[in-house]
Chains A and B, each alone.
Chain A
Amino acid sequence: MSELTSAAPATNEAPEYKERSRWELFKRSTFWYSFTRDRVAMVCAFIFALFVSAALLAPVLAPTNPYDLAAIDIMDSELPPAWAEEGDERFLLGTDDQGRDLFSTILYGMRISLAIGLFAVVLQAFIGIVLGLMAGYFGGRIDSFLMRVADIQLSFSTMMVAIIVLAVFQASFGSELYSKLAMLMLILVIGIAEWPQYARTVRASVLAEKKKEYVEAARVMGFGSGRIMFRHILPNALSPILVISTVQIANAIISEAALSFLGLGMPVSQPSLGSLISSGFEYIFSGSWWITVIPGVVLVVLVLVLNLLGDWLRDVLNPKLYKG
C-alpha cells in the first residue's frame, strides 16, 4: 500500500529509460501527471510557492524593516490601508499600533510563522519516525509501551499541553528572558507535542512492510536492525509521511498563531502572524480593523492552501491512509 508511487511507474519500465535524469523520471511519474491535471492543486502549489518566496525574500521585498526601531515613527500609527480614505500611499496595507508598515511586518511575520511550522514538523517527524520504526519493528513490550504513551499524549490535546508548558516556562523565566527564547520554545513544544501522529503512521506502515520478503532477505543477509529499519523499511514508508507532513505544517502554523495570540508565543517586537493579530485585536473596537484582519486573512490562506495540498496528496499517494 505504501509504495512510493512517484517513482514506481518509471522504474518498472523497460531498460531504455534508465538513462534518463531524475527530473525526467519525475516528469513521467503519475505524481506529476495527476498534479498537472488538478487545477486546485496547481493553484494551491503556486500560492504556497509565492508565500514561501515572499517570506524568504522579505528583507528585499519589504519597503521598511519592522525590526529597525529607528525607522518607525509613532506618528504613523494606525494608518488605514492605502486604498482607504485616510490612507497613506507610503503604507500599502496601512500601519499597526506602533507605526510599523503592515505589509513589511506581515512579510517578516510570515517568515517566522513558516520557520516555526517547518522546524516544529521536522522535529515531530524525527522523533515520530524513530519511535514509530522502533515500535513497529521490534514489537512486543516496546511497542505496547510506546503506543500507550502516544495514546495518552494524544488524549491531551496538543493545544492544552503547549499552553500549559509555555505558561509555566513564561511564569518561571519572566517575560523578558522568555521573549528571547520564544521561537525555540515554540518549536520544541509544538515539535514534541505532536510526535504520536508520526509514530502511529510510521508504525502502521512498518507493520505492513515488515512481513514482506525484502525485509526477510535483508535479515538473512545479516544486516543490523538499524540498517534494515532506516535504509530498507523507511524508504517504503515515505508516502504516508509526506501526506501527513503538509497537514502537520498547517497545524503547527495554527498552533503557533494561537499560542502567540494568547501571549505565550512570539513577542510584539518580533511578531509572527499570530502575535500581529493579537496586537491588533485591541484596536478592532476602535475601528482599526486592518491590523487584525489582514494578517488573519494571510494566515487563513496559507493554512487553507496547505490543507488543500495535503488533501490532494492523500488522494494521489494513498487513498486509504486515513482509514487505518
Chain B
Amino acid sequence: MLLFLMRRLMQGLIVMFVISIISFSIQDNLGDPLRELVGQSVSEAERQKLRDEIGLNDPFLVQYSRFLGNALQGDLGQSYFFKEPALDVIFAKMPATLELVFAATLIIILVSIPAGVYCAIRPDSWGTKLILGFSILGISVPVFLTAIFSIYLFSIELGWLPSYGRGETTSVFGLWESGLFTRDGLLHLILPAISLASIMLPLFIRLIRSEMTEVLHTEYVKFAKAKGLKKVRIYFLHALKNTMLPVITVGGVQIGTMVAYTILTETVFQWPGMGFLFLEAVNRVDTPLIVAYLIVVGGVFVVVNTLVDLLYGLVNPTVRLARTAQ
C-alpha cells in the first residue's frame, strides 16, 4: 500500500511539474511584462537595463527556478486587470464554482443511482426505455445548449427562474461568500446546476445500469435470493455495494472533468466563478491570472485523481494486491 501511495504521489508531482513548465512558458511568451510596467515611452537602452535588473535576460533555468520558488510561496504575480495578487483573485471566485460543482454532484448522485438501479432491475419496462432514451438524448445535447434551452424555457418564456448571476449571497465565517443559504441564491443555482449535471447524468445512469446488471447475475445475488432475503435488501445493500466500485473511479475522474465544463456553464449563466474569470482573463490577455488558473485547476485535478485512486485501492483489495505484485 505504501509503495502504491508513493507511486501515485510521484505521478502527481510529475504532472504538477509539467503543468508548472507549461505555465511558465506561457508567462514567458505571452505579452511583454516591461510594457505593463513602464509603458511605451522609455528608451531602448533603459529598457535593456531594466530587463537586466528584473532578470528577464537570465537563462531559462534561472528564470524558471525563480518562478517555481515564487509559486511555491503562493506568489503567482499580480493580475494586470484587477491589480491584485492573481491567486487572491482566483480564490475569491472559487466558492462560486465549488458550490456549483457541489450542487451538480448532488443532483447526479440523487438521480443517477435510483435511475440506474431501476433500469437494471426492470430491463424491459417502459420506464427503462424512457430513461435510456433520455440518456442518449442527454449525451447528444452539448452542455451549453442545455443551458441555453433551459434559459429560454424557464427564464424567458415562463419567467420562473433567474437567468444569470448568483443572486444574493451571505458571508460564512467571513471567508466564504455563499449562495446556499438564501432563497434568491438557491433559485439562481437551480438552472446552472441542472445544466452542469446534465452532461454527466447519462454517463452515470448507463454505468450504474451496466455494472448493476452484471452484479445481478453473480452467484452471491442468486444465493441471497434463494435464501429468501427481501428484494430491496438484495438490491440496495448487497448488489449496490459492489456496483459502486467502478462508479467511484469514473466519478472521481468526472469531477475533474466537471471543473472544465464549469467554464461553459458559467459563461452562459454569467456565474461569477473561476471559469468565467478565466475566459475574461483570456480576452484581456491577463497572463498572471491565466497562469494562476492553470496551476490551481491542475492542482485540483491532480489531488482529486490521486485521492480517487487511493480510495479505490482502499475499497478494492484486488487492485492493491495486483499493484504491489508488479
Contacts and interface: CB of A to CB of B under 8 A. Distances in A.
Interface of A: 148, 152, 154-157, 159-160, 163-164, 167-168, 170-172, 250, 254, 257-258, 261-264, 277, 281, 284-285, 289, 292-293, 296, 299-300, 303-304, 307-308, 311, 322-323
B250 to A, nearest CB: 11
A160 B30 contact: no
B236 interface: no
Where chain A touches its partner, the secondary structure class is helix
A168 B140 contact: no
22 contacts: A152-B11, A154-B253, A159-B257, A167-B282, A171-B30, A250-B140, A257-B142, A257-B144, A262-B263, A262-B279, A263-B283, A264-B282, A277-B144, A281-B148, A285-B156, A289-B152, A296-B149, A300-B141, A300-B142, A304-B140, A322-B210, A323-B210
Interface string B248-260: 0000010011011
Contacts of B305: 155
A160 B257 contact: yes
Given A152-B11, A167-B278, A167-B290, 9 more contacts: A156-B301, A167-B279, A171-B30, A254-B142, A258-B142, A258-B264, A263-B283, A285-B163, A303-B140
Contact of B140 (A156, A160, A281, A307): A307
Contacts of A281: 148, 268
Given A160-B260, A168-B290, A307-B139, A258 B144 contact: yes
B282 A159 contact: no
Contacts of B142: 254, 257-258, 261, 299-300, 303
B256 A164 contact: no
A261 to B, nearest CB: 5
Contact of B290 (A148, A171, A304, A307): A171
Nearest to B285: A171
B290 A155 contact: no
Interface residues of B, number: 44
B35 to A, nearest CB: 15
B30 A168 contact: yes
Interface string B127-158: 00000000011011111110011011000100
B195 interface: no
- Residue among B143, B144, B163, B294 with max Cβ neighbours from chain A (10 Å): B144
A261 B264 contact: yes
Nearest to B304: A155
B167 to A, nearest CB: 18
Where chain B touches its partner, the secondary structure class is helix
A303 B136 CA distance: 10
A323 B261 CA distance: 26
A147 to B, nearest CB: 12
Contacts of B290: 167-168, 171
Contacts of A296: 145, 148-149
B263 A163 contact: yes
A312 to B, nearest CB: 11
A34 B98 CA distance: 47
Given A154-B253, A307-B140, A168 B263 contact: no
A300 B139 contact: no
- Residue among A160, A289, A292 with max Cβ neighbours from chain B (10 Å): A160
B267 interface: yes
A171 B257 contact: no
Contacts of B29: 172
A157 B256 contact: yes
A322 B206 CA distance: 11
B26 interface: yes
Contacts of B31: 171
Given A152-B15, A171-B290, A296-B145, A262 B140 contact: no
